[in-house]
Amino acid sequence: MRSVTVVHCLIAIILASVMAGVTAQTYPDRPVKIIVGFPPGGSSDTVARIVADKLTASLGQPVIVENKPGAGGVTASEWVARAPKDGYTLLLATAGHSTAAAMRKQLPFDTVRDFTWISTVTTYPFVIATAPNAPYGSLAELIAAAKRAPGKITYSSAGVGTSHHLLGEWLNAEAGIDLVHVPFKGGTSPLTEIVSGRVDVMFETMTLTLPQIKAGNLKALAVTAPGPVDFLPGVPAASQTVPGFVLQSWLGIAGPADLPPAVLDRIGRDLRAALEMPDVRKRLADLGGTAAPVTPEAMRAQVEREIARWRALVESRKIERQ
């Protein structure tokens, strides 16, 4: 009986290997989806469409961006974690994936093990911005105003547990102030609320804010880069006012856990080749980012480091988990 069981196991392993080989040889033979956890028009959606355009050309099949907003990106991550492990459903992962692991008491997936990490696409700092007519013209003035009126100044984010959210909480902790969090589902809603004056401050990516700053619709107070950035001349680094306040965010591509190695290699190779293209690098730079191709191993290690960092921050600052 035992020998029969062993034989059955060997047959199952051989069949799985054969099917994986068939999948790899024929991939892709139908459209591929990139799932984005935020509405159309936001930074994640914009970058996903840049990637989709290039992968469509290299893979020879349509690569379609599908928006599944909700829960600060968790809805999209869950969708991909539960998708077939065949490379036809991918995730536009954000740095909020790591913050969710720190902020959420429970998640419907394992933040690291339930995904195949393929490559980061771009890295970028955040901008702290207000409406052009806001009464503060610098981060120092914003902090001073917040100290005079604790609990009165609001800031927007792309959802509870996102990088935007924790960045605001981090500033609260470091500067000894009490900005009030107003979460959205991403997209352009935070921008609309800032311009209208219904929300006071936004912590947002360069992708969404840079064109609006250049058009005069937003006023940049500071950037979270290690120093001033060329594409926002005259805007200081936040660390000049709050020492150590530096955050480089990212967007990347992931899939469900255990993608067939050949499928992973194909997607990764084509994605990293796209990120070396001058027109892609320029488009990302125009959005305030830097192309950032890496290996799957490097991306996984980055996610693990950031989860540890945000968990330490949440614990040390006693930020309430959701």
Q: For residues 249 and 95, is the Cβ–Cβ distance under 8 A?
A: yes
Query: What is the pLDDT averaged over residues 114-126?
Result: 96
Q: Is the pLDDT of residue 261 over 60?
A: yes
What secondary structure, in 3-state letters, does the chain show? Answer: CHHHHHHHHHHHHHHHHHHHHHHHHHCCCCCEEEEECCCCCCHHHHHHHHHHHHHHHHHCCCEEEEECCCHHHHHHHHHHHCCCCCCCEEEEEECHHHHHHHHCCCCCCCCCCCEEEEEEEEEEEEEEEECCCCCCCCHHHHHHHHHHCCCCCEEEECCCCCHHHHHHHHHHHHHCCCCEEEECCCCCHHHHHHHHCCCCEEEEEHHHHHHHHHCCCCEEEEECCCCCCCCCCCCCEHHHCCCCCCCEEEEEEEEECCCCHHHHHHHHHHHHHHCCCHHHHHHHHHCCCEECCCCHHHHHHHHHHHHHHHHHHHHHCCCCCC
Using CB atoms within 10 A of its CB, is residue 312 exposed (0-12), middle (13-18) or buried (19+)? exposed
pLDDT for residue 24: 57
- Cα 203 to Cα 156: distance, rounded to the nearest angstrom: 7
pLDDT for residue 143: 98
pLDDT for residue 206: 80
Topology classification of domain 30-123+249-316? D-Maltodextrin-Binding Protein; domain 2 (3.40.190)
pLDDT for residue 23: 54
pLDDT digits (tens, 9 = 90+) for 283-316: 999 888 899 999 999 999 999 999 998 998 888 7
Assess whether the region 30-123+249-316 and the region 125-240 belong to the same CATH fold.
yes
Q: Which residue has the higher pLDDT, 253 or 20?
A: 253
Q: For residues 229 and 235, is the Cβ–Cβ distance under 8 A?
A: yes
Contacts of 78 (CB under 8 A, 6+ apart): 107, 108, 109
Confidence of residue 269 (pLDDT cuts 50, 70, 90): very high
Contacts of 140 (CB under 8 A, 6+ apart): 241
Query: What is the pLDDT averaged over residues 116-127?
Result: 95
Q: Is the pLDDT of residue 16 over 50?
A: no
Query: What is the pLDDT averaged over residues 129-151?
Result: 96
Q: Where are the domains of the chain?
A: 30-123+249-316, 125-240
pLDDT digits (tens, 9 = 90+) for 18-64: 444 445 578 999 999 999 998 898 889 999 999 999 999 999 999 99
Q: Which residue has the higher pLDDT, 229 or 19?
A: 229
CATH number assigned to the domain with residue range 125-240, chosen from the 4 options 3.40.190.10, 3.20.20.80, 3.90.1170.50, 3.40.630.10: 3.40.190.10
Strand 290-291 to 115-130 pairing: antiparallel
Strand 154-157 to 201-205 pairing: parallel
pLDDT digits (tens, 9 = 90+) for 57-85: 999 999 999 999 988 889 999 999 999 99
pLDDT digits (tens, 9 = 90+) for 156-208: 987 777 788 889 989 998 999 999 999 987 667 888 899 888 999 999 888 77
